[in-house]
């Protein structure tokens, strides 16, 4: 990897930033102001990809010579999409729905370099199995931790991890960026810059 490549993360997620730093990437954070609206005419598995592309495109207009990384994560539970909850009440509702069930976490990622017209969009899916959570524990979690900035109202890397029984797939995908798949795509994308 060429560490002189100019990279921008179009996300304010501290978890995505942490994952990128973990693999030695230098980047600037410029959060996209794109509203994370779920379009009804897109198949559920492609929603995160679509939003990630919108986020990356918006920032690429300001930084055409950089590689822009856009990402979005959604939770799919019983055919219903859980994004970020609007408030604590909705957060608790989501957590009750996830309790004792499995769900899928899908993260869409887009890489864009406007100057050469390259766009690469992909996604990763991880199945997460959550144990039965007592109501008092749901109340405690929603009232004492920041659940409003996370798809599905939980972070796998924090206190909520005590309720995760197992996962099938990439752990980092549940955090917000499928690092192994991302890295492979990024290396190929970076070569197109030369």
Q: Which residues are catalytic?
A: 72
For the chain, report the end-to-end CA distance as a whole number of angstroms.
Answer: 12
What is 108-128 written as a DSSP string?
A: EEEEEETTTTEEEEEEEEEEE
* Number of other CB atoms surrounding residue 171 within 10 Å: 14
What is 27-93 written as a DSSP string?
A: -EE-------PPPTTS-GGGHHHHHHHHHHHHHHTT-TTSEEEEEEEEEEETTEEE-S-SSHHHHHH
Burial of 129: CB neighbours in 10 Å, binned 0-12, 13-18, 19+: middle
With beta carbons less than 8 A apart as the criterion, state whether 67 and 190 touch. yes
Burial of 96: CB neighbours in 10 Å, binned 0-12, 13-18, 19+: middle
């Amino acid at each position: 990897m060429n560490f002189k490549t100019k990279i921008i993360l179009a996300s304010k997620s501290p978890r995505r930033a942490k994952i990128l730093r973990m693999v030695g990437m230098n980047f600037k954070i410029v959060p996209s102001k794109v509203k994370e609206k779920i379009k009804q005419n897109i198949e559920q598995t492609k929603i995160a990809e679509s939003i990630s592309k919108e986020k990356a495109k918006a920032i690429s207009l300001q930084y055409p010579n950089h590689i822009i990384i856009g990402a979005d994560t959604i939770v799919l539970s019983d055919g219903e999409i859980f994004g970020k909850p609007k408030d604590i009440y909705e957060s608790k509702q989501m957590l009750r729905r996830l309790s004792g069930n499995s769900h899928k976490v899908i993260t869409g990622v887009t890489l864009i370099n406007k100057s050469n017209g390259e766009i690469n969009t992909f996604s990763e899916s991880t199945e997460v199995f959550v144990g039965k959570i007592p109501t008092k524990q749901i109340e405690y979690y929603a009232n004492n931790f920041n659940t409003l900035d996370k798809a599905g109202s939980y972070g796998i890397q924090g206190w909520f991890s005590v309720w995760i029984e197992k996962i099938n797939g990439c752990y980092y995908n549940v955090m917000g960026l499928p690092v192994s798949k991302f890295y492979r795509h990024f290396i190929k994308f970076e070569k197109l810059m030369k």
